[in-house]
Structure 1
Amino acid sequence: MDFKDLKINSKLIYSLKNNGIITPTKVQMDVIPEIISKKDVIGKSKTGTGKTLAFLLPILQRIDNTSKNTEVLILSPTRELAIQITEEANKFNINDIGILAAYGGKDVGSQLKKLNKGINLIIATPGRLLDHLERKSISLSKLNTIVIDEVDQMLLMGFKNEIEKIMSYAPKKLQTLCFSATIDSKVKKLAYRYMNNPTIIDITENEESEIPNIKQEVVKTTDRWKVDALVKILEEDNPFMSIIFCRTKRRADELEVKLAAKGIKAAKIHSDVPQNKREKIMKSFRDCEIQYLIATDVASRGIDVTGVTHIYNYDAPESVESYIHRIGRTARAGDSGYTCLITDPKNYNILEEIENYLKYTIPEREVNFK
């Protein structure tokens, strides 16, 4: 099956080819026909499977560029994900529609100026969008489609009330598209509240098969020796591009300083790092100018960078889902990858949960760092 079979128009297909995209992914094959048929969709799919283009392509070819109305809204839990969706939308904006990215840390004045020209598609974080709605600088009265991306993260980050408030500004009759890495009862409850007989598309079974491309290892140590273990591992591996995961902003700050003291230059991203600095860091990382990126789970949502060869779990993840999400940052597009979990005795329980889920005992890596 190709994009023509999915009823994607020739201009978009040409643009896709120019960007090296010839064949649709599984999620695109399943989702695009449903969106074109104007059905509501709940899609279960992790980052890196082509999910963003699955909803962007049918939306971009549908929007009327002669209109000045906001027809489509895409909600994202984080600024990083909003930026990434915006970059993709601009890349395939064949009809020259008005696109606005509205998120915290970006100058409101420049956003307002852009709004005066007429915006067809808005990509926003909930807080900043509500700010515009309350200022009456954005109207959702002509909206026909809303996409809520990373619904599980939205709820985890406490955006339920904001989403409900945003929906009160929109028409009752809408095409609603929800995407999530996990679909639990809370996600279903929120989705069904605003959806009309949605099609549920779950391609996670196909995604789990990607895990064998990732070599997984565990290093057992104590919190006191964690930095030394990590430094030794980084020296041995000398990764091309790597992400080092920390559980909290404070841990990320401390690790950046500790690695610098050992002569390893790493850049960190989390919600306290100013937005313009985060954007510069992410650009440098994508351009392979940064070898080590330190990230918290929340800040990493939406990081979809090809070429990441190594994932280091400096802190154990809070859940099995979080572990799967972290390691899924490597081994993209059929490449192989490597992940290492550095754990201390107090986190052996989460290691056991991960192994039970994978039905696999993660091999232990011996590191002589003392």
Structure 2
Amino acid sequence: MSFENLNLHPLILKAVIDSGYTTPTPVQAQAIPELIAGHDIMASAQTGTGKTAAFMLPALHRLATPSKVHSRGPRVLVLTPTRELALQVSEAAAKYGKHLPRVRVVSILGGMPYPLQNKLLSQPVDILVATPGRLIDHIQRGRIDFSRLEMLVLDEADRMLDMGFIDDVERIAAATPATRQTLLFSATLDGAIDKVAARLLKSPKRIQIATQQARLDNIEQRLHYVDDISHKNRLLDHLLRDITLKQAIVFTATKRDADMLADNLSAQGHEAAALHGDMNQRDRTRTLTKLRHGGLRVLVATDVAARGIDVSGITHVINFDLPKFAEDYVHRIGRTGRAGASGIAVSFASGKDGVNLKKIERFTGQRIDSHVIPGLEPRFKPRPATGGARGTPSVAHKRNRTWANDNGQGTNTNNTNGNWNNSRSRSFSDNRGNTAGNTRSQPFGNSGAPSPYFRSK
């Protein structure tokens, strides 16, 4: 099937062809005809398979016909969980609607100044892309008229559910006309999403393109066991010096971790920058633009970057810290291997990550094989390695463990080094000589010299 068979407006089809696309992806081939026919849909497909175009092309097709309602309010509303995803959707609308006359796209996001947003909303809007919290603010102030809204799109609905936005989403939906067409797109569809869909959609068509396992086939997954933060840093530096690595996203658990690790990598000579929710919108946009244009080789990010970043040059994703939820693992590694390309996903795991690792493997239906880099072997390996040095024993020695009680006190067993304290207060210095005090429990023994990067909670 080609895009010519989807009965899109000729000016939209021209923009698609200008972008270099001739054949729709499976989710586009199934969703676009249903949407043009006016059906509500709930669709699931892997990241990087064109979900944004799957709803934006029919939305623009609808806009090619003038509205009969006289209002300056939007005809299409797209809700996204993150600012990055909202900007990606806005860019897609501008790209595919560039030949249509007078299609105005406006983004309403947290982090943007209110006076600028008020000015944007004072003029006629065709497509409004927004994050739920900021949109609620403008609705409460009476700045948005939904009287001519024809289409409501919930992009990454599962993420909005995870982030606690569903109440806001339902409140926004209640402010829109009951005659609207509603689209729910997500990388995963589960029981919770079904309940949301039942409340917001009318007899939706269900589209599910790929199983969880199938969607990861083009991504090589590797696992490296680590002893401590210092070991993680050495492994990461080694991986980033691989000449086959074009661009990488390194995921950390916290915002502070992202800042400190990015600073540490920059001091080691890597082109690195951080991205997280505490950054203002201007800095976030500047960092992403630099990444897309190839001026940034390593992006160190929290899960704010797990969705909404579509950069074809990302060859590697590195989980410096494993995510808390198995679903987030899929979204993280989905930043590579996009649009049919291959990618590499590397995860670091310590002894305390065993349960989390099993949840990820159970969710994906795939075992993540462990690898060993000669000279950077861990002191313990809970299961045999399948890559790296051959002949390495499956267990180097007994693993150190910390069992913590409710007060945070620990009892250490099997301590082969004999020099470990349950709670040790240290000062960790970065490469620039700055020093910060931090108290941390080390579950894998004393690694020697203090790490240039410390864990913040």
TM-score by structure 2 length? 0.77
Q: CA deviation at 1:254?
A: 2.4
Q: CA deviation at 1:223?
A: 2.5
* Structure 2 match to 1:52: 52
> What CA distance in whole angstroms lies between the structure 2 residues aligned with 1:310 and 1:57?
30
Contact 1:219 1:364 in 2 (8 A): yes
Q: How many residues align?
A: 369
Choose the corresponding residue for 2:173, options 167, 172, 181: 167
Distance 1:47 1:355, change over 3 A: closer
* Structure 1 match to 2:273: 267
Distance 1:79 1:366, change over 3 A: same
Contact 2:333 2:345 in 1 (8 A): yes
Greater CA drift, 312-321 or 145-154 = 312-321
SS at match of 2:246: coil
Choose the corresponding residue for 1:358, options 345, 365, 374: 365
* Structure 1 match to 2:153: 147
Kindly indicate whether residue 348 of structure 2 is the aligned counterpart of residue 336 of structure 1. Answer: no
> What CA distance in whole angstroms lies between the structure 2 residues aligned with 1:84 and 1:244?
20
Choose the corresponding residue for 1:87, options 86, 91, 94: 91
Q: CA deviation at 1:119?
A: 0.7
Q: Over residues 250-296 of structure 1, what are the superposed CA-to-partner deviations in whole Å (9 max), with x where a residue is unaligned?
A: 22122123323433331111100111000000000000100000111
* Structure 1 match to 2:252: 246
Kindly indicate whether residue 125 of structure 2 is the aligned counterpart of residue 134 of structure 1. Answer: no
> What CA distance in whole angstroms lies between the structure 2 residues aligned with 1:156 and 1:361?
25
Distance 1:103 1:361, change over 3 A: closer
Distance 1:160 1:359, change over 3 A: closer
Q: CA deviation at 1:332?
A: 1.8
SS at match of 1:204: coil
Q: Over residues 15-55 of structure 1, what are the superposed CA-to-partner deviations in whole Å (9 max), with x where a residue is unaligned?
A: 11111111100000010011111111011123311000000
Contact 1:232 1:369 in 2 (8 A): no
Q: CA deviation at 1:327?
A: 1.4
Contact 2:225 2:370 in 1 (8 A): no
Matches within 5 A, 1:177-216: 177-205=183-211, 208-216=213-221
> What CA distance in whole angstroms lies between the structure 1 residues aligned with 2:368 and 2:58?
42
Q: CA deviation at 1:368?
A: 2.0
Matched AA of 1:245: F
Matches within 5 A, 1:275-294: 275-294=281-300
Contact 2:213 2:366 in 1 (8 A): no
Contact 1:229 1:367 in 2 (8 A): no
Contact 1:45 1:181 in 2 (8 A): yes
Choose the corresponding residue for 1:72, options 61, 69, 76: 76
Bigger fraction of residues in helix = 1
Q: CA deviation at 1:244?
A: 0.5
Matched AA of 2:220: K
Q: Which has the larger radius of gyration?
A: 2
> What CA distance in whole angstroms lies between the structure 1 residues aligned with 2:89 and 2:366?
35
* Structure 2 match to 1:220: 225
Matches within 5 A, 1:298-317: 298-317=304-323
Contact 2:218 2:343 in 1 (8 A): yes
Matched AA of 2:46: K
Contact 1:227 1:258 in 2 (8 A): no
> What CA distance in whole angstroms lies between the structure 1 residues aligned with 2:323 and 2:348?
10
Contact 1:219 1:367 in 2 (8 A): no
* Structure 1 match to 2:301: 295
> What CA distance in whole angstroms lies between the structure 1 residues aligned with 2:169 and 2:8?
30
Contact 1:311 1:326 in 2 (8 A): yes
SS at match of 2:371: coil
Greater CA drift, 244-253 or 284-293 = 244-253
Kindly indicate whether residue 325 of structure 2 is the aligned counterpart of residue 319 of structure 1. Answer: yes
Q: CA deviation at 1:238?
A: 5.7
Distance 1:278 1:65, change over 3 A: farther
> What CA distance in whole angstroms lies between the structure 2 residues aligned with 1:336 and 1:174?
39
Contact 2:149 2:176 in 1 (8 A): yes
Unaligned residue ranges in structure 1 (runs of 5+): none
Distance 1:328 1:367, change over 3 A: farther
Kindly indicate whether residue 18 of structure 2 is the aligned counterpart of residue 13 of structure 1. Answer: no
SS at match of 2:372: coil
> What CA distance in whole angstroms lies between the structure 1 residues aligned with 2:325 and 2:135?
30
Matched AA of 1:49: T
SS at match of 1:216: strand
> What CA distance in whole angstroms lies between the structure 2 residues aligned with 1:163 and 1:149?
11
**CA RMSD for the aligned pairs?**
1.8
SS at match of 2:5: coil
Contact 2:75 2:148 in 1 (8 A): yes
RCO greater where, 1 or 2, for CA within 8 Å and sep 6 or more? 1
Contact 1:331 1:337 in 2 (8 A): yes
Greater CA drift, 57-66 or 216-225 = 57-66
Contact 1:232 1:367 in 2 (8 A): no
Identity over the aligned pairs, expressed in percent? 38
Q: CA deviation at 1:65?
A: 5.0
Contact 2:306 2:328 in 1 (8 A): no
Q: CA deviation at 1:166?
A: 1.0
SS at match of 1:178: strand
> What CA distance in whole angstroms lies between the structure 2 residues aligned with 1:367 and 1:255?
24
Contact 2:221 2:368 in 1 (8 A): no
Greater CA drift, 249-258 or 24-33 = 249-258
> What CA distance in whole angstroms lies between the structure 2 residues aligned with 1:118 and 1:131?
19
Contact 2:307 2:332 in 1 (8 A): no
> What CA distance in whole angstroms lies between the structure 1 residues aligned with 2:374 and 2:146?
56
SS at match of 1:49: coil
Q: CA deviation at 1:210?
A: 4.6
Q: CA deviation at 1:316?
A: 1.0
Contact 1:216 1:363 in 2 (8 A): no
Q: CA deviation at 1:354?
A: 3.1
